[in-house]
Amino acid sequence: MDLGLKGKVVIVTGGSKGIGNGIVKVLSQEGAIPFIIGRTESDVIQAASAVASEGREVGYAIAELTDPDQCKEAVDKVVEEYGRIDGLVNNAGVNDGVGLEGGSYREFIDSLNKNLTHYYMMAHYSLSELKRNKGSIVNIGSKTSVTGQGGTSGYAAANGGRNALAREWAVELLPYGIRVNTVVVAECFTPLYKKWIKTFPDPESKLKQITNHIPLGNRMTTAEEIANMVVFLLSDKSSHTTGQLIYVDGGYTHLDRSI
């Protein structure tokens, strides 16, 4: 399906691995120009090189997104290199396990900065270009915002904020024709997820326990499946969709897990 994204420049934060990298790959396949922003230079360059090796255009910037100045510098680099921004995917973040009982004020604030503050900063600095091009914003969210998980107050609060910002921005940006949506993820086997599973005494048993509770197919969602929805939302094929929280999770969040 041609989504009409050829030549469109789309920022993807955290685009070097996991879900972000899945989004970069699908954007590239659709003829868009993904612009990867991440903090680990070797990972970002490797991801960009993989796209370039297939003869497709890709850009990148190295930035620590908890630093507002580096967010601005990264956005400025996109405009300097390509002269436009057509879409923004706020994806970078980490389930850092900052809980209520064991955490501290500083750890909680740091978790919000890792997982939410840069969503605002990236949208803020990209806004003039998004207005000019009637672009689209997609936030990546997590089931923790609606189901809870336990032991991860910072991450859950940040994801609640991601959901709220999608709806707030959808209202604020209506006059400019900018659509804003959140794609909510439940169980997706990313490198970070794999690392988390390995913390259990019997990782394979824990993974089976989780997948048994995913109603559709009793399997994990793939990064590509999430990416397909994200890229659709970035395109004009979803031209009347805004302010939505869309769950790509095999029914995990809302269906009876005893099915």
**Confidence category of residue 157, pLDDT binned at 50, 70, 90:** very high
Q: Is there a single domain that holds both residue 34 and residue 130? A: yes
pTM here is 0.95
Q: Is there a single domain that holds both residue 191 and residue 104? A: no
pLDDT in tens, 16-43: 999 999 999 999 999 999 999 999 999 9
In a domain, 55, yes or no: yes
Q: Is there a single domain that holds both residue 130 and residue 141? A: yes
pLDDT at 178 over 80: yes
In a domain, 57, yes or no: yes
Give the integer Cα–Cα distance in Å for 213 and 103.
Answer: 29
In a domain, 258, yes or no: no
Give me the half-sphere count of Cα atoms (radius 13 Å) on the Cβ side of residue 9.
19
Q: Is there a single domain that holds both residue 205 and residue 102? A: no
Q: Is there a single domain that holds both residue 60 and residue 133? A: yes
In a domain, 253, yes or no: no
Q: What is the pLDDT of residue 244?
A: 98
Q: Is there a single domain that holds both residue 154 and residue 26? A: yes
**Confidence category of residue 257, pLDDT binned at 50, 70, 90:** confident
**CATH code, domain with 15:** 3.40.50.720
Average pLDDT score over the chain: 96
Can you spell out the DSSP letters for 29-64? HTT-EEEEEES-HHHHHHHHHHHHTTT---EEEE--
Q: What is the pLDDT of residue 188?
A: 92
In a domain, 254, yes or no: no
pLDDT at 259 over 80: no
pLDDT at 1 over 80: no
* Burial bucket for residue 152 (CB in 10 Å: 0-12, 13-18, 19+): buried
Smallest CA-to-CA distance from 139 within 87, 216, 81, 79 is with: 87
Q: What is the pLDDT of residue 179?
A: 98
pLDDT in tens, 86-140: 999 999 999 999 999 989 999 999 999 999 999 999 999 999 999 999 999 999 9
In a domain, 259, yes or no: no
- The whole-number average pLDDT for the span 146-150 is 94
In a domain, 86, yes or no: yes
Q: Is there a single domain that holds both residue 136 and residue 199? A: no
Classify residue 67 by its DSSP letter: S
In a domain, 199, yes or no: yes
Q: Is there a single domain that holds both residue 116 and residue 194? A: no
Q: What is the pLDDT of residue 190?
A: 84
Four-residue CA torsion sign, 137, 139, 140, 141: negative
Q: What is the pLDDT of residue 256?
A: 87
Catalytic residue IDs: 155
Q: Is there a single domain that holds both residue 87 and residue 191? A: no
Q: State the residue for tokens 């510098």.
A: 73
Count of structural domains within the chain:
2
Q: Is there a single domain that holds both residue 159 and residue 216? A: no
Identify the domain containing residue 210 by its residue range: 187-220
**Confidence category of residue 212, pLDDT binned at 50, 70, 90:** very high
Q: Is there a single domain that holds both residue 138 and residue 215? A: no
Q: Is there a single domain that holds both residue 158 and residue 199? A: no
